[in-house]
Amino acid sequence: MSNSSTFPDWHGTTILAVRKGGKTVVAGDGQVSMGQTIVKGTARKVRKLAGGRVIAGFAGSTADAFTLIERLEAKLEQYPEQLARACVDLAKDWRTDRYLRRLEAMLIVADQDQIFTVTGVGDVLEPEHGVAAIGSGGNYALAAARALIDTDLDAETVARRAMAIAAEICVYTNGELTVEVV
């Protein structure tokens, strides 16, 4: 996993997905960094797809992520109501297509029932415990959400609190959140 062309150094975002109580929440911070400089604080890295039934959040290169999200939307049209199949097909294309293989981004894709992390090396991972995270602050948000998931808090509150903790620790993550719920 140390191949820098496949797994770039993810400086610039935190995306967190939490599924609890029949709801799935995907939250992303708004910070965009170039090196040690913050160039934007209110970017939207979380989007609703498939008529609002699917949420996708991305970490990595914005242009690359938009390309992947467009491809994911096409897969969702091809395989309606089959999120896992759409993600697997996207990951297969991403790994084998000469152009896509160079894209430097990661996705979290979720609907009401499932959460997947999709990578350019062909991974489509469904997390245990109903929590997944990517990006430079992903491990902080993941740990915080895992600690909060068994409390009385709802999914959105868990996500917001976990993202706040990540923003306090990771210099590439801020508290300007985009939060989408399905």
Ordered by where they begin, the domains of the chain are 14-173 (3.60.20.10)
C-alpha span between 59 and 117 (Å, rounded): 11
* Closest CA relative to residue 103, chosen from 72, 146, 60: 60
Q: Is the pLDDT of residue 167 over 70?
A: yes
Q: Where is mean pLDDT largest: 6-15, 36-45, 172-181?
A: 172-181
Give yes or no for a contact between 161 and 20, defined as CB atoms under 8 angstroms apart.
Answer: no
C-alpha span between 41 and 177 (Å, rounded): 10
List active site positions.
Answer: 13
Structure tokens at 148: 């909060």
pLDDT of residue 4: 43
Pairing of strands 23-28, 178-181: antiparallel
pLDDT of residue 5: 43
pLDDT of residue 65: 87
Give yes or no for a contact between 44 and 13, defined as CB atoms under 8 angstroms apart.
Answer: no
pLDDT tens-place string over residues 128-155: 899 999 999 999 999 999 999 999 999 9
Q: Is the pLDDT of residue 120 over 90?
A: no
